[in-house]
Amino acid sequence: MPSSLPLRYGTNSQQAPARIFMRSDADLPITVLNGSPGYINLLDALNSWQLVRELKVAIDLPAATSFKHVSPSGAAVGTPLSDVLKKIYFVDDLELSPLATAYARARGVDRMSSFGDFIALSDTVDVSTAKLISREVSDGVIAPAYQPEALEILKKKKQGKYAVVQIDPAYEPPTLETRDIFGVTFEQRHHDRSVTRADFTNIVTKNKDLPESAIRDMLIAWITLKYTQSNSVCYVLDGQVVGVGAGQQSRVHCVRLAGAKADLWRLRQHSSVLALPFKSDIKRPDRDNAIDQFLQPDVTDAEKSNWANIFSETPSQLTPEERRAWLDGMSNVVLGSDAFFPFRDSIDRAAKSGVKYVLQPGGSNRDEDVIAACDEYGMTMVFSGVRLFHH
């Protein structure tokens, strides 16, 4: 493998020349098997690979993530899918391996954000996973290995230009990492702190109940937040992230953003959405956009006028009462935060999206107010003592 790889340009087309390279004479830990990944693609690839690698180690299940602009839009492990989830993820016509199931979850939770994603997979890519990837709009994939037939399927994607990257699973980065910003070099220890079960032992609320399913979902939240642009929070349920709020300056805005995504994920499972009368020639991305619009409470008449091109008959939107009743059926959700909650407002918002368990580092001057809020809702909150900022 070479120690340097030239790129067409950097973050934008006017930022050329560009390349990735090793500061030592060591070979790059990646091999491009197909296509020409760009600068942002490789930022996504290297961050997302770390996420799925850690998920696989922590939970011992195949893991997948869907990355966009250096943050995950979804992440999951390969737990079985219900028939409803298969339908809203558009995979009810496929036989899915555990790895393909993990990607179906990671991709499906927020299909609008995952449009044009970069994929990371913890295990050897099999034919089942390659077939699923082949029919989605995606920029590329990184994995430790590919079955020969799976690789041939992926090589045909995007007229042969789909980026397929193989990473050496044994590669470990140096302890110290550096980067240059405006001609100034920054140096720090690589964030090699791994999650342990000891991170979930300091339960600070009156409710001490923390079942294995919640611990698993806290593991997923912890690792996901480690590779999500700060400030960040995520909602996790049933082995998958169901809402990510990334890169916001206010933590409660992260909670609202991620909560809104979790709510949409839940609403997509409503019978009225499952029965939407799409015309037969409407493609999946257009269905994604139409479903998202259908579930917005403030759709204008002008926006609805386009529905005649999408639906065979005009559907009736959910009433506010129907929305709330359906959302109230979501429960046992984990809310994870990369740093402490400074106010109780985040807990109040989280309660509207079925949050039962909360993971945060603790350390705010108002910790007692936040604990009291969790106690009011009967939530279980863990102070991990570990901040997970990522920039």
Indicate which residues carry an active-site annotation: 68-69, 231, 391
Q: Which of 157, 162, 89, 152 is nearest to 125 (CA)?
A: 152
Cα of first residue to Cα of last residue in the chain, in angstroms, is 29
Characterize 226-255 residue by residue with b for buried, 16 or more Cβ atoms within 10 angstroms of its Cβ, and e for exposed: bbbbbbbbbbbbbbbbbbbbbbbeebbbbb
* CA-atom Rg of the chain in angstroms: 21
Distance CA 53, CA 224 (A): 11
Distance of CA 216 to the CA centre of its chain: 16
Q: What is the DSSP string of 330-353?
A: ---EEEEESS--SSTHHHHHHHTT
Per DSSP, 183 falls in state: T
Distance CA 100, CA 80 (A): 11
Containing 52, the helix (H) or strand (E) segment is helix 39-59
Burial status of residue 56 (CB atoms within 10 A of its CB: 0-12, 13-18, 19 or more): buried
Distance CA 157, CA 290 (A): 25
Q: Are 283 and 291 contacting, i.e. CB atoms less than 8 angstroms apart?
A: no
Main-chain phi, psi angles of 140, to 5 degrees: 175, 180
Q: Are 87 and 154 contacting, i.e. CB atoms less than 8 angstroms apart?
A: no
User: Encoding tokens for residue 344?
Assistant: 């109780």
A 10 A CB-CB count for 7 gives 18
Distance CA 61, CA 368 (A): 37
